[in-house]
Amino acid sequence: MGLRVTREERAVLDGLDLEVAAGETLSISGASGCGKSTLLRVLALLEPADAGRVEIDGQDAESIDYRSYRRRVSLVFQEPPMFEGTVADNVRYGPSMAGRTVSDSEVSELLAQVAIDPAIASRDAERLSGGERQRVALARALANRPQLLLLDEPTSALDPESAMEVIAQIRRLSAQGLSVVAVLHVPEHARLLGDRHLHMRDGRLETVEMST
Ligand SMILES: Nc1ncnc2c1ncn2[C@@H]1O[C@H](COP(=O)(O)OP(=O)(O)O)[C@@H](O)[C@H]1O
Ligand SMILES: [Mg+2]
């Protein structure tokens, strides 16, 4: 793959290589500003790489219909914006774009999966707290039944208990074949979530051995 991204004439990603297997979870750590979010955006095709290619199942991502790629590869931002409407509207958004209706019970199930009381389904999404938004955004991503989930510090606004529930749920989904790349700052969260641990430095990724 050999991704290369330069911003303001500085190499942010420098010949970085990354391969994720089906059902594999990766954690990425690294100093602030080292390029972790940039990597996730490039993998989600939200930003172009200057060199290198993103592939999915051996197919060049650029050759796939953009919207269907974005459903297969879902990115959850650290401070995810909510769409106008209720929490349920937000969860239903992606599937509705693909012509699929998500039932009330599926919405409840998706919210429960991310450790949120399904009773908030009817609330105005834009009035939620940061931690609630983070989990609703995760439910919204999961509603697309992605193949690869990209998470940018998914536990940063969560209390420790909710963080553990979210991590446990992601592990269950990965056991069913979901691939996950998660930027995580809390070493304990990285250890619990990742099958593999990577550290970003100078635009590249290094493997980290974590004692378990
Ligand atoms: N569009 C852009 N234009 C200019 N600089 C950018 C752009 N996007 C990211 N950067 C710079 O690239 C570096 C990596 O940013 P980022 O990927 O957000 O880091 P991290 O998520 O690891 O904190 C930072 O120095 C940031 O300022
Ligand atoms: Mg970042």
pLDDT digits (tens, 9 = 90+) for 31-40: 999 999 999 9
Residue nearest to atom 1 of ligand 1 (CA): 7
Q: What pLDDT is stored for residue 2 in this prediction?
A: 62
pLDDT of 8 above 80: no
Question: How high is the pLDDT of residue 190?
Answer: 95
In this structure, are strands 73-76 and 148-152 parallel, antiparallel, or unpaired?
parallel
Q: Which CATH number fits domain 3-81+145-208: 3.40.50.620, 1.20.950.20, 3.40.50.300, 2.40.10.120?
A: 3.40.50.300
Query: Residue 119: pLDDT above 60?
Result: yes
CA–CA separation, 116 and 128 (whole Å): 12
Q: Is 166 exposed, middle or buried (0-12, 13-18, 19+ CB in 10 A)?
A: buried
- Determine the pLDDT at residue 160: 94
Degrees, nearest 5: CA angle 188-210-32: 60
User: Which of the four pLDDT bands, split at 50, 70 and 90, describes residue 142?
Assistant: very high
Q: Which ligand is nearest to the CA of 153?
A: 2
At 6, the pLDDT band (50, 70, 90 cuts) reads confident
CA of 98 to the centre of ligand 1 (A): 32
Q: What is the mean pLDDT of residues 14-25?
A: 90
Residue 41 alpha carbon to ligand 2 centre in Å: 10
pLDDT band at 135 (very low <50, low <70, confident <90, very high): very high
Instruction: Evaluate the CA torsion angle 197, 199, 204, 207 in order and state its sign.
Output: negative
The answer, yes or no, to whether residue 61 has pLDDT greater than 60, is: yes
50 pLDDT tier (thresholds 50, 70, 90): confident
Q: Whose CA is nearest to atom 18 of ligand 1?
A: 37
Position 212 confidence tier, pLDDT thresholds 50, 70, 90: low
Q: Which residues contact 77 (CB under 8 A, 6 or more apart)?
A: 137, 152
Tokens of 194: 């990742």
Residue with CA closest to ligand 1 atom 25: 33
- Whole-number CA gyration radius for the chain: 17
Between the CA of 75 and the centroid of ligand 1 the distance, in Å, is 17
Span 69-88, pLDDT tens digits: 998 999 999 999 999 999 99
Question: How far, in Å, from the CA of 199 to the mean position of ligand 1?
Answer: 16
Q: Are 131 and 154 in contact (CB under 8 A)?
A: no
* Distance, CA of 199 to CA of 114 (rounded, Å): 26
Decide: helix, strand or coil at residue 29.
strand
Q: Rounded to an integer, what is the distance from CA 29 to the centroid of its chain? A: 14
- Mean pLDDT in the chain? 93
Percent of the chain with pLDDT over 90: 80
- Any idea where the domains of the chain sit in the sequence? 3-81+145-208
The Cα 111–Cα 140 span in angstroms is 9
